[in-house]
Amino acid sequence: MTSFNWKKEAELQWDNRAHFWNERSVNMWDNGSRKDIIPFVENHVKEGGKILDIGCGDGYGSYKLYKAGYDVVGMDISSEMVALAKERAKHEGIPFSQGDVSDMPFENGSFDAVMAINVLEWTESPAKAIHELKRVVKKDGLLCVGILGPTAGPRTNSYPRLLGKKAIANTMMPWEFRQLTTDNNLEYIDGVGVYKDGVKEHHYKDLPIELKQALTFMWIFMLRKGSE
Q: What is the pLDDT of residue 1?
A: 40
Domain-located, residue 184: yes
Q: What are phi and psi of 197, to 5 degrees?
A: -60, -30
- Is residue 75 one of the residues assigned to a domain? yes
Q: What is the pLDDT of residues 184-203, one digit of tens each?
A: 999 999 999 999 999 999 99
Q: Mind listing the pLDDT tens digit for each residue in 25-50? A: 999 999 999 999 999 999 999 999 99
CATH number at residue 215: 3.40.50.150
Q: How many domains does the chain have?
A: 1
pTM surpassing 0.75?
yes
Contacts of 93 (CB under 8 A, 6+ apart): none
- Selection from 98, 134, 93 nearest residue 116 by Cα: 134
| CB-CB contact of 106 with 130 (8 Å) | no
CA 70 to CA 87: how far, in whole Å? 19
pLDDT along the chain (228 residues), means of 10: 81 92 94 96 97 97 97 97 94 94 96 97 94 97 97 92 91 95 95 94 94 96 88
User: Among residues 183, 185, 53, 68, which one has the least CA distance to residue 112?
Assistant: 53
Confidence at residue 2, expressed as pLDDT on a 0 to 100 scale: 59
Question: Could you list the residue range(s) of the whole structural domain that residue 131 is in?
Answer: 6-225
In a domain, 1, yes or no: no
User: Does residue 61 belong to any structural domain of this protein?
Assistant: yes
Our CA angle for 19, 120, 35, nearest 5°, is 60
